[in-house]
Amino acid sequence: MAKKKVYIAFDYDDLGVKQNLVAESRRPDCPWEFIDNSISRAVPERWVLEAERLIRESDFVIVLCGEQTHQATGVATEVQAAQRLGRRYFLLSGTRIGTPTRPKHSRADDKIWTYRWPSVQTLLAGGTPPADAAVQ
C-alpha cells in the first residue's frame, strides 16, 4: 500500500498511544505505513489554524479514542475540521483497559474500531473492517 499522509487527533492523555501507532507504522513487518502529519510541537496561539492546515494536507484523520476523549475540546475541534474539509476520518480505540469514549461532534454512525493491524490496514485503504472489529 502506498504511504498515506495521516493526521492523528488525540487527547494528550493518549500521547503514548499516538507515539506507539507512529512507531508501529515504521516497523518492517507492519502491513501498513503512513506519514505522520500531526502537529509536532505546541502552537498555543494558532493551533486551530495549524491543525486545519495539516488536516487539509492529509489523506486521513485518525481519531484516537481514550477514556477522556469525550471531554477533549481539541479533539472535538479537529473532528469538526475534518468534517468541514471533507477529509475521511475514523475512530480508533486508544485504550485496552478502559472504555474508549467518542469525541464530541463525531457522527452517530461513526464506529470506534479496534487498534489491530488488520483493522487499521483496511481503514487506511478506504475500506470498512468486519463488524466484529468495532468496539462501539
pLDDT tens sequence across 46-60:
888 989 999 999 999
pLDDT digits (tens, 9 = 90+) for 31-88: 777 888 887 766 677 888 989 999 999 999 999 999 999 999 999 999 999 999 999 9
Look at residue 54 and give its three-state secondary structure: helix
Domain ranges of the chain: 4-133
The whole-model pTM stands at: 0.91
Contact residues for 39 (Cβ-Cβ < 8 A; gap 6+): 47, 50, 51, 54
Contact residues for 121 (Cβ-Cβ < 8 A; gap 6+): 1, 31, 32
pLDDT digits (tens, 9 = 90+) for 4-34: 889 999 998 898 999 999 998 888 888 777 8
Provide φ and ψ at 105, rounded to 5°.
75, 0
Residue 37, beta-bridge partner list: none
Q: How far apart are the first and last CA of the chain?
A: 27
Distance CA(34)–CA(68), nearest Å, equals 26
Chosen CATH of 4-133 out of 3.90.1150.10, 3.40.50.1000, 3.40.50.450, 3.30.70.20:
3.40.50.450
Cell of 8: 492523528
8 A C-beta contact, residue 22 and residue 53: no
